[in-house]
Amino acid sequence: AQSVTQPDIHITVSEGASLELRCNYSYGATPYLFWYVQSPGQGLQLLLKYFSGDTLVQGIKGFEAEFKRSQSSFNLRKPSVHWSDAAEYFCAVGATGGFKTIFGAGTRLFVKA
């Protein structure tokens, strides 16, 4: 069965420091992978996606993610975090066939001054 694991429930990072959010997936075929961000009480905003090709994917707001098939990982990174990045981040996998998206439990990012 498809699943997504985000091992960190929450992470605290100083403003200006680098960030890496971990994501591992379980899926038999080539997955469609996504990272979404959600501010409190708000909807889901797509940060970036991976379908195929270059394993390093650039997204919005300065985020990037690297697909590593050998590790079944799709970690999200940002070189310098801003206070406005504080939010909940969800890694997700989409089944080929496009019927549904399976989300990880999310990682809440706190940014300290």
Binding-site ranges for other proteins (CB under 8 A): 32, 34, 36, 41-46, 49, 51, 90, 94, 96-106
The nearest distance, CB 26 to other proteins, in angstroms, is 15
Among 36, 66, 72, 69, which residue's Cα sits nearest to residue 54?
A: 66
DSSP state at residue 69: G
Q: How far is the CB of 102 from other proteins (least distance, A)?
A: 7
Nearer to other proteins, 73 or 101 (CB): 101
Q: Which of 21, 30, 43, 28 is nearest to 105 (CA)?
A: 21
Q: Shortest Cβ distance from residue 101 to other proteins (Å)?
A: 6
The two structure tokens encoding residue 108:
């809440």
Select 18 or 45, whichever has its Cβ closest to other proteins.
45
For other proteins, which is the closer residue by CB, 10 or 80? 10
Smallest separation, CB 57 to other proteins (Å): 13
Please work out, in degrees rounded to the nearest 5, the angle formed at the alpha carbon of residue 106 by the alpha carbons of 16 and 104.
135
Of the pair 1, 113, the CB lying nearest other proteins is at: 1
- Under the phi-then-psi rule, with left for phi > 0, alpha for psi from -120 to 50, and beta for the rest, what region is 23? beta
